[in-house]
Chain A
Amino acid sequence: MDAVAGVGPVTVRLAFPPEPRLLGTVRLVVGIVARKTGMGAEGIEDLKVAVSETCAVAVGDLTRAGVRDPIEIDLVEGPDRLGIEIRDRAPAHVQDPGGPGDGDVDDRELGLALVGALVDDLKTSTMEDGGNRTSFWLRRGPELLDPATGGLSLDPLGLPDDLPPPLT
């Protein structure tokens, strides 16, 4: 399995086409996974905002570039934190020809600033063969650890072993 965000092997991998209408579903799934790791309500909300904002930027970039390749999200459960890596195939820095959104507010910059404030160790990079990689992690909190195991509590979720290969 791949290592993500310096946390550990991939626990759950999602892939979805770059369509804005799917962001709500992505938030729902990410929230369920986070809850199964024992993450608290506030952490889950932070995670949903961070993932949604990052994916919204990717959806916008991919749409403007006319690229339909899926966006991939890896979630990695560590002993005390949840690591996230989001990958897309958008050309680097695809600018919105319309400029800032409503009210002269640059939604993209606002969104990235929001992510930076909510998560730890935010990293963005361009992948060797194109596309973008964003990674970060959120602490699960000591009260969230499973007392029986001293740590992990995530169910296997019934995921198949033959997950698609990463985009890299």
Chain B
Amino acid sequence: MDLDLNVRKEGDHSVLEVAGEIDVYTAPKLREQLIELVSDGSYHIVVDLEKVDFLDSTGLGVLVGGLKRVRNHDGSLQLVCTQEKILKIFRITGLTKVFPIHSSVGDAISAPAE
């Protein structure tokens, strides 16, 4: 089990593509990547979860932490996800009200800042 992370720039946004399983073992890797992005001045981040097979509460915590970090810089953190099993986790925990969740990276980038 591993977590693959790939970062690319699209205009003002940094797109972080995540593939694999996000749990208590792999979430620290995602946390470090988000911290690094913000430290490098990327305050508008799109996290693409389309290739994520599993997400637990530790992963949710990391994403919330990332959101707080970019908001400290008046930035944004948006998610891309169409997988029902992952969306269900966000719905149950009420985090659909916290994160803008889009069906594609293009939609996320073109969405108005909240």
Min C-beta distance of A64 to chain B, whole Å: 13
Residues of B close to A56: CB separation below 8 A: 23-24, 56-58
B54 & A52 in contact (Cβ 8 Å cutoff) = yes
Q: Which of B57, B66, B85 contacts A107 (CB 8 A)?
A: B57
Asked if B67 is at the interface of the complex by the 8 Å CB criterion, the answer is yes
Starting from the known contacts A23-B24, A103-B65, A104-B65, 8 additional A-B residue pairs (CB-CB under 8 Å) come to A24-B1, A56-B57, A100-B61, A105-B60, A110-B60, A111-B56, A111-B58, A117-B92
Q: Which of B67, B84, B88 contacts A103 (CB 8 A)?
A: B67
Asked if A102 is at the interface of the complex by the 8 Å CB criterion, the answer is yes
Residues of A close to B23: CB separation below 8 A: 20, 23-24, 52, 56
Q: Which of A42-50, A136-144, A160-168 contacts B (4 or more CB under 8 A)?
A: A42-50
B57 & A111 in contact (Cβ 8 Å cutoff) = yes
Closest residue of chain B to A59 (Cβ to Cβ) is B24
Chain A residues 20-70 with CB under 8 Å of chain B are 20-21, 23-25, 27, 42, 45, 48-49, 52-53, 56, 59-60
Binding site for A on B (CB under 8 A): 1, 21, 23-25, 31, 54, 56-58, 60-62, 64-69, 84-85, 88-89, 92-93
Binding site for B on A (CB under 8 A): 20-21, 23-25, 27, 42, 45, 48-49, 52-53, 56, 59-60, 100-105, 107-108, 110-111, 113-114, 117-118
B54 & A48 in contact (Cβ 8 Å cutoff) = yes
Closest residue of chain A to B23 (Cβ to Cβ) is A23
Min C-beta distance of B30 to chain A, whole Å: 10
Q: Which of B25, B57, B67, B88 contacts A110 (CB 8 A)?
A: B57
